[in-house]
């Protein structure tokens, strides 16, 4: 019961406006901007487990000394990480989520493909050894080849899915990539004025 109440209280806390939460923090805080896949969700570790903070895209003021991860519905969570920033700084988190469904499907495909390839190999081996009837030996190369080739292709696709969805990755930086510094004072072109570069004309 205490665990449930603690989780509810933590979730309610992170639903407060950023300014209100920042005032409630005891210690250093940072402003976090989360961007990336729509299913990405920033989560914070509490004594009662992982609690959602916000879903991408979002901006939140959070504790600097806490541990975080990227998770969400149907998402394989990332490893826990700390925020690399100073008190009052702004951190941009970019999440590249991995699918739990894709990971599970990859495992199934890898297992089924491996079994099919192994069975196809046995069929080819038995035909080469002269086992079975004449009809079986004549059809074995085609049957075994299809099983072996299809099994290897399926296993390869499953391995790719498994590796591609092994874990959610997250990168963090001090600012958004598309942010550019403002031009120096006095260097802005006048309104309505276009900058043109004259073309050089040579006569030989």
Query: pLDDT digit string (tens) for 148-181?
Result: 899 999 999 999 988 888 888 888 876 554 444 4
**Structure-token pair, residue 136:** 């079986």
Query: How high is the pLDDT of residue 139?
Result: 74
Q: What is the per-residue pLDDT across 79-134, written as a single tens digit (0 to 9) for each?
A: 999 998 888 889 999 988 888 888 889 899 999 999 999 998 888 888 777 666 66
Helix (H, G, I), strand (E, B) or coil at 156: helix
Best CATH choice for the domain 2-96 from the list 2.60.40, 3.30.1360, 2.40.128, 1.10.1410: 2.60.40
Question: In terms of pTM, does the model score above 0.75?
Answer: no
Give the whole-angstrom CA distance, residue 103 versus residue 109: 10
> Can you give the residue ranges of every domain in the chain?
2-96, 100-164
Helix (H, G, I), strand (E, B) or coil at 150: helix
**Structure-token pair, residue 90:** 């702004």
**Structure-token pair, residue 194:** 């276009």
Residue with tokens 């989520």: 97
Alpha helix positions (H), the chain: 2-14, 18-24, 100-128, 134-164
């Amino acid at each position: 019961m205490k665990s449930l109440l603690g989780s509810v209280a933590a979730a309610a806390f992170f639903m407060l406006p950023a300014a209100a939460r920042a005032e409630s923090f005891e210690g250093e805080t940072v402003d976090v901007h989360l961007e990336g896949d729509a299913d990405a969700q920033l989560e914070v570790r509490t004594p009662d487990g992982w609690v959602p903070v916000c879903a991408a895209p979002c901006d939140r003021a959070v504790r600097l000394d806490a541990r975080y991860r990227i998770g969400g519905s149907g998402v394989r969570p990332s490893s826990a990480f700390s925020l690399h920033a100073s008190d009052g700084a702004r951190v941009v988190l970019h999440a590249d989520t991995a699918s739990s469904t894709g990971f599970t499907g990859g495992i199934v495909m890898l297992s089924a493909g491996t079994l099919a390839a192994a069975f196809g190999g046995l069929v080819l081996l038995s035909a080469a050894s002269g086992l079975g009837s004449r009809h079986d030996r004549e059809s074995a190369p085609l049957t075994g080849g299809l099983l072996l080739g299809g099994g290897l292709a399926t296993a390869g696709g499953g391995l790719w899915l498994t590796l591609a969805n092994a874990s959610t990755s997250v990168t963090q930086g001090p600012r958004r990539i598309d942010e550019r510094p403002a031009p120096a004072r006095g260097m802005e072109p006048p309104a309505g004025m276009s900058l043109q570069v004259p073309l050089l004309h040579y006569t030989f």
